[in-house]
Structure 1
Amino acid sequence: MKFLATCPPGREGDASLELEWALKAKVKRTRWGGVLIGESPINRNEALKKIREFETFALQKFIPLDYLVPLEELERKIEEIARELPKGSFAVRVKVRGAKIGEKTLEKKLGGIIKRVTNNPVNLEEPEIIVLINVLGKKAGITIARKDEIVKKEPDD
């Protein structure tokens, strides 16, 4: 399972060790401070459980990635994914790093694609499904998740 993790800038080494220890993960730093990409042999549900239970000192956020695609293929991939989405309300959330794309513009564009394909209702307050896009330069990580599948932690000092 691939994932994206965040930590305070300068704490990447500590966060990498936490992820390696908790998930037997291979972790790579990115060119953005505090942003790590990794892969674990552990399945998604087990990884989420372990990260929730694991006492961390540097890790802030842990996001499983369902897909990692070239940025120019993002819209096509979202249309493909939308065909498989379950019925239910949704919201698109976008975080852009290293690309000149507006987050809100991309949210509206991708949300429009999903709405057209699924006819699912948009619910920005309490969506049943979150389509989370993390743009990292020329790549985009895509996560289809329920709210409880994105782990946020407070790092200890």
Structure 2
Amino acid sequence: MANFNLIVSTSRFSEEEAQDEILDLLDMFGDPDAESEITEIKGLLLAQTALDPFEVIEKLKELIASEPWEVRYILRVLPVERVVPTELDAIRQAARDLAVAKIGNNESFRITVEKRHSALESIEVIKAIAGEIESKVDLENPSWIVLVEIIGGEAGLSVLRPEQIFSSVIEKRK
């Protein structure tokens, strides 16, 4: 799936249930035509929705707050703003474009790289992106996270606030 805008994780061997669940939830949120693909990586799915992926995260949090039993198989959902080939220059450019548009001069950031099925080194990606962003780094409590999710030949990128990541476990504890 080349144009995904959500990365969904679940426990191993629950991929089909999680796929049904995310598609049902996206339909409930207003996108009956959403698509999903189970990847070759255990516990990982990709989804494409016409909805704003950040709004999907908010709707999931609201749903958990009112009806926690509605989310049984989905563990985490990450919004994706841009998908590029897993090449250092493409990742650097996309991260820079997203960061410049969002991160203010007085705000901090952290780069998080999660890679699967790629020979690219995480530290290479971090160094390439860090050189493009002039704001200060804060690894403990950043204003923004530059998220790079490498899945084989494709990389999904987002610049998001820490609270814009959905974790069903964390939300259910609240």
Normalised TM-score (structure 2): 0.80
Structure 2 segments unaligned to the other structure (5+ residues): 28-33, 65-69
Normalised TM-score (structure 1): 0.88
The reply on whether 1:146 has 2:161 as its aligned counterpart is yes
Structure 1 segments unaligned to the other structure (5+ residues): none
8 Å contact 1:129–1:144 — kept in the other structure?
yes
Identity among equivalent positions (%) equals 23
Q: CA deviation at 1:8?
A: 0.7
RMSD: 2.0
8 Å contact 1:22–1:50 — kept in the other structure?
no
The aligned counterpart of 1:44 is 53
Range with bigger deviation, 50-59 or 129-138: 50-59
The aligned counterpart of 1:86 is 103
3-state DSSP class of the match of 1:154? Answer: helix
Residue of structure 2 aligned with 1:126, choices 135, 138, 141: 141
- Name the CA distance, whole Å, in 2 between partners of 1:42 and 1:106: 29
- Name the CA distance, whole Å, in 1 between partners of 2:59 and 2:53: 10
8 Å contact 1:90–1:120 — kept in the other structure?
yes
Range with bigger deviation, 78-87 or 52-61: 78-87
- Name the CA distance, whole Å, in 2 between partners of 1:30 and 1:106: 23
Amino acid at match of 2:116: R
